[in-house]
C-alpha cells in the first residue's frame, strides 16, 4: 500500500477501509466487529495501550462532552492527557488530542507511516482493519509515544464489540442510556445497557449518569457479577447560578463555565467530576480549586450548544436524538437565545425521525431543511413532508446565509456532518 504524504491524502486512502460510520446497513456481530483483529493490530505495534492508565467512556449521549470536560479537569492538575473521541467535526486529526489540542500534521503522518504498513490482511480480506480500528490504533500509539500520564477513550459504537474495548481501563463510565442504534444494539433499554456494560472490567470503578430504571437494573446485575465499584453521578450536584455561572457541590462560590449550557451539559460535567475525583484519589492528590475554576472558564465544547456572536447570533449543536434535542431546547431557553430563530436541520437515516422532528419543531417556528451528507442524510424534502412545514435549501451554506441575511438567528443541529460543514463559516464570520 502506498503511504500517503498528508492527512488529506490519508483521508482518501481511508476510503479503502470499511467505515461503519458511513455504511447504511451492516451486521453488528463478532465477525464484523472482531476484537481479535484489533488485538492483532495493537500487538504488532507493541501493545501501546498498556503503557498508560486509561479512562473508558461509553453512553448514548454525552460521552464526547464528558471526555473533553475530563480532559480539561485533569490537565488543570498538571497531567499530560491524551484524548480519543469520535466523530470529528472539521478534520480527522480532531479525534486524537494530546495536551488539549488536536495532534499536529507531522505527528499524524508519522503515526500513519507506522501503522499503515502493517494493515495488509494476512488471512484474506476480513483480516484487514476497519476505518475506526485503524484510527484507534493510531491514537493508542500516539499516546504511548507522547508519554501521556493518562488517556481518555470514547467508545465508538456500543461498547462490548467496540475497537476501544481491548483496553484494560482503570476507570469506566456510562454517561447515559437511551434508545439509539436499536437495529444494532437491541430495541430495549436492557439490551442496550448490556452492550454498553461490555466495557466493565473486574473490580474496575464505574461511574454512570442517572440512568433509566430498566437500564440501571441491567448495569447493576453486570456490575455485581464483576464486583465493580459503582458511583452514580448526581446531576443535582451541579446547578445553574446565573448566566454562565454554575455551582458545584463541595466547591465554594459560583464558577464561571460559559460552555456548560443547560441541564444536559451539567449532567455530563457531573460524570466528568466524578471521574476526576476518582483519578485524583488514585493518585493521592487533592483538587486544585483555582486551577479547576480556570479549566471550566476556558473549556470549549465544539458543536455542543456552541454560540457564535452576531448579529445575528448563531448556535451550533450536533443533537440527533430526541433526548439530546430536548436538552438543546432547554439550554436555549436557559440562555435566552434570541428570537426570531431559524432552525437549520439535517438528520441521518438511522435516527428516530418522528421523535427527533417533534422535538426539533419545538425549538423554532422557522425550519430550513438541508443536506449534510448525501450518503447518510434523509432527503430534506422528505423531512419537510414528514413534519408538514418548513422549507428546503439543500446546500447548507446557502441555508445559513438565507437565515442570516433575513435577520434570523440560526440554530444548526441534527448532524455532526452538518456541524462540520458550517462551523468553518461560523468561525470565519465571528472573527
The CATH number of the domain where 335 resides is what?
Answer: 3.90.190.20
196 and 245 share one domain: yes
Does residue 147 lie in a domain region? yes
Q: Are residues 37 and 19 in the same domain?
A: yes
Contact of 412 with 423, CB cutoff 8 Å: no
Do residues 402 and 282 share a domain? Answer: no
Q: What is the Cα–Cα distance from 137 to 67, expressed in whole angstroms? A: 18
Domain for residue 54, yes or no? yes
Cβ atoms within 10 Å of 91's Cβ, excluding its own: 15
> Is residue 154 located within the same domain as residue 193?
yes
Percent of the chain with pLDDT strictly greater than 90: 79
Residue 75 is predicted with a pLDDT of 98
Question: Is pLDDT larger for residue 273 or for residue 12?
Answer: 273
Residue 125 has pLDDT above 60, yes or no: no
**CA–CA gap between residue 357 and residue 321 (Å, rounded):** 9
- Domain of 225? 7-297
Q: What pLDDT does residue 349 have?
A: 79
| Statement to judge: residues 173 and 269 lie in one domain | yes
- Beta strand pairing call for 245-248 and 255-256: antiparallel
Do 116 and 225 lie in one domain? The reply is yes
Distances (CA, A) of 198 to 226, 374, 403: 11, 33, 44
Q: Which of 97, 122, 120, 124 is nearest to 108 (CA)?
A: 97
Q: Is residue 378 within 8 Å of residue 350, measured between CB atoms?
A: no
Flag whether pLDDT at 423 surpasses 60: yes
At residue 118, the pLDDT reads 87
Instruction: Single out the residue of 169, 167, 166, 192 nearest to residue 179, CA to CA.
Output: 192
Beta-carbon contacts of 334 under 8 Å, excluding residues fewer than 6 positions away, are 240, 261, 262, 263
pLDDT of residue 20: 77
Q: Is residue 1 part of a domain?
A: no
Interatomic CA distance for residues 350 and 143, integer angstroms: 33
Q: Which residue has the higher pLDDT, 2 or 219?
A: 219
Confidence of residue 121 (pLDDT cuts 50, 70, 90): low
Distance of CA 189 to the CA centre of its chain: 20
Residue after which a domain boundary falls, among 274, 297, 320: 297
What is the domain-level CATH number for residue 159?
3.40.1190.10
Instruction: For residues 374 and 275, state if they share a domain.
Output: no
Q: Which 3 state secondary structure label does DSSP give 298?
A: coil
Tell whether 242 and 158 lie within a shared domain.
yes
CA distance 115 to 42: 9
Q: With DSSP H G I counted as helix, E B as strand and the rest as coil, what are the percentages for the chain, rounded to 5? A: 45, 15, 40
Q: For residue 108, is the peptide bond before it cis, meaning its omega torsion is within 30 degrees of 0? A: no
Within a domain: 322: yes
**End position of a domain, from candidates 297, 323, 352:** 297
What total number of domains does the chain contain? 2
Phi, psi of 84 (to 5 degrees): -120, 115
Q: Judge if 426 and 315 occupy the same domain.
A: yes
Q: How confident is the model at residue 182 (pLDDT cuts 50, 70, 90)?
A: low
Q: Where is the domain boundary, 279, 297, 315?
A: 297
Structure confidence at residue 114 (pLDDT) = 92
117-126, 305-314, 336-345, 410-419: the lowest-pLDDT one: 117-126
The predicted model scores a pTM of: 0.95
C-alpha torsion 232→416→100→197, nearest 10: 30
Amino acid at each position: 500500500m502506498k503511504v500517503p504524504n498528508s492527512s488529506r491524502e490519508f483521508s482518501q486512502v481511508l476510503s479503502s477501509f470499511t467505515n461503519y460510520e458511513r455504511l447504511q446497513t451492516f451486521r453488528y456481530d463478532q465477525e464484523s466487529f472482531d476484537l481479535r483483529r484489533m488485538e492483532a493490530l495493537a500487538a504488532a505495534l507493541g501493545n501501546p495501550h498498556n503503557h498508560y492508565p486509561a479512562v473508558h467512556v461509553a453512553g448514548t449521549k454525552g460521552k464526547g462532552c464528558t471526555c473533553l470536560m475530563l480532559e480539561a479537569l485533569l490537565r488543570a492538575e498538571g497531567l499530560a492527557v491524551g484524548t480519543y473521541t469520535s466523530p470529528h467535526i472539521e478534520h480527522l486529526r480532531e479525534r486524537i488530542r494530546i495536551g488539549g489540542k488536536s495532534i499536529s500534521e507531522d505527528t499524524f503522518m508519522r503515526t500513519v507511516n507506522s501503522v499503515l504498513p502493517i494493515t495488509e490482511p494476512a488471512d484474506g480480506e476480513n483480516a484487514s482493519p476497519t476505518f475506526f480500528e485503524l484510527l484507534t490504533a493510531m491514537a493508542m500509539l500516539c499516546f504511548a509515544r507522547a508519554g501521556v500520564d493518562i488517556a481518555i477513550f470514547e467508545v465508538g459504537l456500543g461498547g462490548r464489540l467496540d475497537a476501544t474495548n481491548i483496553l484494560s481501563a482503570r476507570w469506566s463510565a456510562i454517561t447515559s442510556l437511551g434508545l439509539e442504534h436499536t437495529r444494532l444494539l437491541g430495541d430495549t433499554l436492557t439490551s442496550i445497557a448490556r452492550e454498553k456494560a461490555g466495557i466493565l472490567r473486574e473490580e474496575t470503578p464505574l461511574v454512570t449518569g442517572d440512568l433509566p430504571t430498566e437500564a440501571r437494573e441491567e448495569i447493576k446485575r453486570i456490575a455485581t457479577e464483576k464486583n465493580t465499584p459503582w458511583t452514580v453521578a448526581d446531576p443535582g450536584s451541579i446547578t445553574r447560578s446565573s448566566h454562565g455561572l454554575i455551582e458545584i457541590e463541595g466547591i465554594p462560590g459560583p464558577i464561571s463555565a460559559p460552555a456548560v449550557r443547560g441541564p444536559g451539559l451539567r449532567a455530563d460535567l457531573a460524570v466528568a467530576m466524578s471521574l476526576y475525583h476518582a483519578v485524583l484519589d488514585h493518585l493521592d492528590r487533592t483538587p486544585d480549586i483555582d486551577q479547576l475554576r480556570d479549566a471550566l472558564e476556558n473549556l470549549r465544547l465544539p458543536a455542543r450548544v456552541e454560540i457564535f456572536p452576531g448579529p445575528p447570533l448563531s448556535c451550533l449543536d450536533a443533537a440527533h436524538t430526541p433526548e439530546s434535542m430536548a436538552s438543546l431546547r432547554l439550554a436555549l431557553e436557559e440562555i435566552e437565545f434570541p428570537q426570531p430563530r431559524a432552525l437549520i436541520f439535517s438528520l441521518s437515516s438511522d435516527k428516530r425521525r418522528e421523535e427527533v422532528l417533534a422535538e426539533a419543531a419545538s425549538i423554532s417556528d422557522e425550519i430550513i431543511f438541508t443536506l449534510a451528507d448525501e450518503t447518510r442524510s434523509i432527503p430534506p424534502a422528505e423531512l419537510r413532508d414528514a413534519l408538514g412545514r418548513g422549507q428546503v435549501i439543500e446546500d447548507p451554506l446557502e441555508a445559513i446565509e438565507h437565515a442570516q441575511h433575513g435577520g434570523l438567528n440560526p440554530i444548526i443541529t441534527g448532524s455532526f456532518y452538518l456541524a462540520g460543514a458550517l462551523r468553518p463559516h461560523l468561525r470565519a464570520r465571528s472573527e
